[in-house]
Amino acid sequence: MMKFENKKLQLIRDLVNEGYGGTKTTVFNEEPAPMTIEEKKMFSESLKTFSQLGESIYSERKLAEAVDQIERMVEMAQRLVNEDSNDVVEATSAGRHFKGMGDALKELKKSCSEIVLHERKASQCYEDIAEGLQKYYSI
């Protein structure tokens, strides 16, 4: 494993010092423009921040907990308004408002479920990319 680690570090050094002498061709059989020293240094630096990017992918927000808390707030607000409503007109108006909030709450739950699903997909893609990069570079 140590030998492999040294190989990764040497490859990075070679990239930064323009020691990479391999030629690659694209699908169109044209050579890509060689990377400048600045581009190689930027790439090397970006590898150092790869794990920090993962924090953005793995959502630190606790979305499900936030939705549950909002749902409890709406329910408590509705109960309080119903308890305090002595006027029929006010109760009817409040009923319409809470019906609208209930619909918005259902839409919020649906949207958050979709977000969680997409976050899981994104985190899997991130892990696949990390695994691929780790074969060649220390990240």
Q: Rounded mean pLDDT of 76-98? A: 81
**pLDDT at residue number 109:** 93
Delimit the domains of the chain by residue range: 1-48, 60-139
Place of tokens 């695994």: 131
Contact 44/12 with Cβ under 8 angstroms?
Answer: yes
pLDDT, tens digit, 9 for 90 and up, residues 49-70: 887 787 777 765 678 888 989 9
What are the helix (H) ranges across the chain? 2-16, 37-48, 50-57, 63-84, 88-134
Q: Which of 25-29, 31-35, 108-112 has the lowest mean pLDDT?
A: 25-29
pTM above 0.75, yes or no: no
pLDDT, tens digit, 9 for 90 and up, residues 106-139: 999 999 999 988 988 999 999 999 999 999 888 7
Contact 105/69 with Cβ under 8 angstroms?
Answer: no
